[in-house]
Structure formats: structure tokens, C-alpha cells
């Protein structure tokens, strides 16, 4: 039986690894044409080749979500190639862990640029298209840290609280008016490259120790949650999904 998603077009940011790459594979397996966007073009081309080998369609798009010009160019490239844009998965994100009194302000700024402004930039770039077609689905990756604050994750949590709030307000504003669904995915601990961004030795060790104490989620577990949300019937908006390891408190 043909998937209800077959022939749709999705843009996935942060697609060069982790949750983004896993979701690209799952969506393409459902018949969706995927625009895979990130800064690491070599990774994207390898992923695109893997998707093509499995019978899917993928377009590699070099994109820095913090740069509106880069985002706009990438969205235009995807629409020119596939003719529409039905799903946006705002997944690009950074999580360097440190205490506020360490004053790693460059890391704070980069998190704000990618985790918040990146979501706003990509949303602004795709909304005119979705409004014109009176249909679309925007999926944002927040975090359990977007609901609960933990030491060392203060600034990261602030960015993810922003994503959660933006997702909720966006759904209320564009749902009924423009027939656009909005889903906020809030993962717990997932085994990805996210933990490798921490430069503080003590926090890096803490993350590694935590990872040994529980069975962490796989990136594909979050990809399954995205597929679940986007293949829901048109009258159903899966607004929020918490996805946690069974052993995570």
C-alpha cells in the first residue's frame, strides 16, 4: 500500500548526523523527497547517496541556519528541484555544556544563533510557501531541557524553552488560519554527536558517565516520532511529544 506521505517534500536541517540523518532515512523510506541541509556538505552527499541506493530521493543543501541568506537560498533550491515544500523539520542544534559563571559567552551566542534564530530563519523562509498552498507541517526539535532546567544546561535550556514557546504559539497562529500543523518534539538523552560539543572537561566527563548509566535513545527513535507526527490524519495535530529513555528520571 502506498504511504500517505508519498510524493511529499521535506526540508531537514542538521541533517549531516544524528537525529537529522536518521529522520532523512525514515522519511525517504516513506516516499518523501528530502532536502537534507547542514554545513557539512560531504556528509550530506554521503547520506544522499545512501538514500538514493535505497530507492529514495534526496537533495544535499549546504546551509547555515544562522544565516538568513543561506537559508533562503537553500529553500529556493529545494522548491526549484522538487516543486513544493510540505514538511519542515527544524532540527539543527548545539549543546555545549558549561556553568554560567564560566562565562563562555561565545558558546552562548552560537547556541542562540543556531537553536533559536535558526528555527526562526527556516520557519520564515518556508511559511510563505506553506501559506500559499494552505497546507504544511513544521516539526521543531526542542528537548526535555525545554521544560526542565538542569545545572550546566542553563543557556541551552533557555534556547530550548524558546523553541517550545515558539512552537506552541506558532501552532495557535497558523493552524486554523493556514491549515499548517506544528509539532514540538522533546527528546531526552539521545546518543548523538551533541555531547561532543562540550569543551569543559568536568561536564564532558559527567555526560560520558551519564551515558554509561542508562540505555540512551537512538537517533532512529526520534525519527520514528517524527514519522508518527507527520503521518497523522490531516485533522490531527500531534502538538507535543516527550520521548525519553525508560531509565531517565
Q: Report the DSSP pairing between strands 240-243 and 180-187.
A: parallel
Question: Which uninterrupted H or E stretch holds 185?
Answer: strand 180-187
Residues ≥6 apart with Cβ < 8 Å to 14: 20, 37, 38, 65, 91, 92, 93, 141
DSSP conformational letter for 190: B
How many CB atoms are located within 10 Å of the residue 199 CB? 13
Select from 104, 88, 82, 108 the least CA-distant residue to 183.
88
User: CA-CA distance, 98 to 199, in Å (whole number)?
Assistant: 8
How many CB atoms are located within 10 Å of the residue 75 CB? 24
Catalytic residue among 89, 108, 156, 166: 156
DSSP, collapsed to helix, strand or coil, labels residue 119 as: helix
How many CB atoms are located within 10 Å of the residue 201 CB? 8
User: CA-CA distance, 118 to 29, in Å (whole number)?
Assistant: 27
Residue 195: active-site member: no
Residues known to be catalytic: 156
Amino acid at each position: 500500500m502506498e504511504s500517505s506521505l508519498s510524493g511529499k517534500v521535506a526540508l531537514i536541517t542538521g541533517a549531516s548526523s544524528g537525529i537529522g540523518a536518521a529522520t532523512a532515512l525514515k522519511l525517504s523510506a516513506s516516499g518523501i523527497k528530502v532536502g537534507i541541509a547542514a554545513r557539512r556538505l560531504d556528509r550530506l552527499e554521503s547520506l544522499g547517496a545512501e538514500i538514493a541506493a535505497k530507492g529514495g530521493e534526496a537533495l544535499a543543501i549546504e546551509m547555515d541556519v544562522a544565516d538568513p541568506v543561506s537559508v533562503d537560498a537553500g529553500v529556493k533550491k529545494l522548491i526549484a528541484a522538487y516543486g513544493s515544500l510540505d514538511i519542515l523539520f527544524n532540527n539543527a542544534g548545539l549543546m555545549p555544556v558549561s556553568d554560567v559563571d564560566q562565562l563562555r559567552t561565545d558558546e552562548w551566542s552560537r547556541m542562540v544563533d543556531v537553536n533559536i534564530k535558526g528555527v526562526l530563519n527556516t520557519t520564515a523562509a518556508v511559511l510563505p510557501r506553506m501559506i500559499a498552498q494552505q497546507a504544511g507541517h513544521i516539526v521543531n526539535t526542542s528537548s526535555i531541557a525545554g521544560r526542565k532546567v538542569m545545572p550546566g544546561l542553563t543557556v541551552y535550556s533557555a534556547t530550548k524553552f524558546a523553541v517550545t514557546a515558539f512552537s506552541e504559539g506558532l501552532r495557535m497562529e497558523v493552524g486554523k488560519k493556514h491549515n499548517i500543523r506544528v509539532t514540538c518534539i522533546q527528546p531526552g538523552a539521545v546518543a548523538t554527536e551533541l555531547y561532543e560539543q562540550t569543551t569543559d572537561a568536568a561536564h564532558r566527563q559527567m555526560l560520558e558517565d551519564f551515558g554509561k548509566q542508562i540505555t540512551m535513545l537512538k537517533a532512529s527513535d526520534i525519527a520514528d516520532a517524527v514519522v508518527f507526527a507527520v503521518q497523522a490524519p490531516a485533522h490531527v495535530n500531534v502538538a507535543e511529544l516527550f520521548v525519553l529513555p525508560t531509565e531517565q528520571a
